[in-house]
Amino acid sequence: MTKLIISEKTKQSRIAPEIYGHFSEHLGRCIYEGVYVGENSEIPNVNGMRADVVNALRELKIPVLRWPGGCFADEYHWKDGIGPAGLRKKMINTHWGGVIEDNSFGTHEFFEFCRQLGCKTYVNGNMGSGAVREMSEWIEYITFGGVSPMADLRRKNGREEPWQLDYFGVGNENWGCGGNMLPQYYGNKYRQYQTYLRHYGQKEPFQKVCCGANADDADWTRGVLETTFKRCPDFLHGFMDGLSLHYYVHPGGWENKGSATEFDKNIWYQSLRKALYMDALINMHAAIMDEFDPEKRIAMVVDEWGAWYDAEPGTNPGFLYQQNTVRDALIAAVTLNIFNKRSDRVRMACLAQMVNVLQSVLLTEGSKMLKTPTYHVMRMYRHHQGARLLASRLEGNPEAGGGENTVPKLSESVSMDAEGVITVTLGNLSCESGETVEILTDEPGWSVSEAKIVAAADFHSYNDFANSDRVSELDFSGCEYSAKGLAANLAKSSVVMLRLQKK
């Protein structure tokens, strides 16, 4: 039997709520149809935002939303997306399917959507094809309350008060779609662009996020940090508050990502092994960050993560629409456990993407909407937001899979919230057998106040519009008390959340 040893007396880093953040890009049916249908739509909406989607997302306690991209960000010109809807410029979305972007969802609509969600705002600026002035003026438009050309323009467009901007990204993937830059070149441009992102007196000044690496590109991390830290006053820590990291699980590699729904056991384990690789990536980049920033003032911002498969057959390949199975529930569970455990450095992460694109929490079809297995995991894990990580480890954790796709059978993380309630999240990565976990704490007397599970007998299971509840969050009845304490019987390929309270 595997033991989960928890030290409730050993409190570690705070799990920033923003680790449970999301990402929404002008890509496929994420923004248009998924989020925004316009005020005249027959689909119930509030100021154009789908009411069903907003209601479902509010249950997740979404802490932060990143927008407008992604690769789209580096060809987005924000002035095209303000003013009377009918007069907004139309453009081609060259990255994503070559479709017409009519700019009907722009800055005002993004802040309205975040208001409805009650979340923080993370805007990603255009460095790849936009000028310093354009980026600088966007900040002025969003955040300045006084008299100035951009603040006056905002007022002319119907918004008197500035909005609260929480994070601003200076370019996206500038090593690739954001300009194919070299790290030193980007580092220098970052220094220049960020200089003109003025703080106009918001109570909580926005934080600047510098473009970090793709997966294991340590050369980028080092090159950017060497450039931004050179001749930079110590208190400005490389002119940044966050450094991003992007990592996607492509089970068969970039060229042969594989189907979202049709896979065998070997690909199941291969996918989970690749998801677990997030831990090594965080360690690799965090070690370099430690050299420049040993006090951890700069947050690691994993602002794109998730599984990326072949697009659903019959859909536009440029729209990146994919189904979401129990495998995705496990990918989310292990990744979030890793983020929790590295919350000393990882202080924001954004799942890619929110609706209808890649590893989404929601899928829509016309007026219908469904919650994916990933949604249910994000919901169960919401209790970790803002809680303190507790020291915890597994003893006797068996292996699952085999050969190069061998993975530890269980994944875990544990936290304690302000009320002293412990949240335990566990994933059983085996699609072949269950596992009993004995849960041991420093002191006896903890009992289960709430227990939930996401699982399905068939690990290919997913929700579709004919059957939207095949995989959902259910009450978990697999806990047993013994003389030694508590044991949880985890079904194969399951994710379990336990809340423990002192009796």
Active site residue 304: yes
Q: Residue 92: beta bridge partners?
A: 100
Closer to ligand AHR by CB, 69 or 130: give it: 69
CA–CA distance, 289 with 272 (Å, rounded to integer):
26
Question: Is 74 one of the binding residues for ligand AHR (CB under 6 A)?
Answer: no
Over the window 3 to 32, marking each residue x when it contacts ligand AHR by CB under 6 A and - when it does not, the resulting string is ----------------------x-------
Token digits of residue 89: 């410029």
Strands 242-249 and 207-214, by their bridges, are: parallel
Handedness of CA 159, 49, 58, 308 (dihedral sign): negative
Restricting to residues 166-185, which ones interact with ligand AHR according to CB under 6 A? 172-173
Closest by CA position to 117, among listed 44, 165, 51, 34: 51
Catalytic residue among 8, 75, 101, 173: 173
Closer to ligand AHR by CB, 235 or 254: give it: 254
Question: Is 356 one of the binding residues for ligand AHR (CB under 6 A)?
Answer: no
Question: Is 71 one of the binding residues for ligand AHR (CB under 6 A)?
Answer: yes
Question: Is 304 one of the binding residues for ligand AHR (CB under 6 A)?
Answer: yes
CA–CA distance, 395 with 451 (Å, rounded to integer):
22
Phi, psi for 413 (deg, rounded to 5): -155, 155
Question: Is 213 one of the binding residues for ligand AHR (CB under 6 A)?
Answer: no
Across the chain, how many H-helices and E-strands are there? 9, 26
Pick the piece of the chain touching ligand AHR (CB under 6 A) from 65-73, 78-86, 286-294, 477-485: 65-73
Active site residue 173: yes
Token digits of residue 280: 């090594």
H helix runs in 362-418, sequence order = 373-380
Total number of residues binding ligand AHR (CB under 6 A)?
10
Closer to ligand AHR by CB, 359 or 423: give it: 359
Closest by CA position to 95, among listed 77, 66, 120, 69: 69
H or E element at residue 218: helix 218-229
Token digits of residue 437: 């976990």
Q: How far is the CB of 352 from ligand AHR (least distance, A)?
A: 4
Question: Is 241 one of the binding residues for ligand AHR (CB under 6 A)?
Answer: no
Question: Is 293 one of the binding residues for ligand AHR (CB under 6 A)?
Answer: no
Restricting to residues 336-355, which ones interact with ligand AHR according to CB under 6 A? 352-353
Question: Is 412 one of the binding residues for ligand AHR (CB under 6 A)?
Answer: no
- Residue type for 489, please? N
Residues marked active site are found at 173, 304
Interface contacts to ligand AHR, rule CB under 6 A: 25, 69-71, 172-173, 304, 352-353, 358
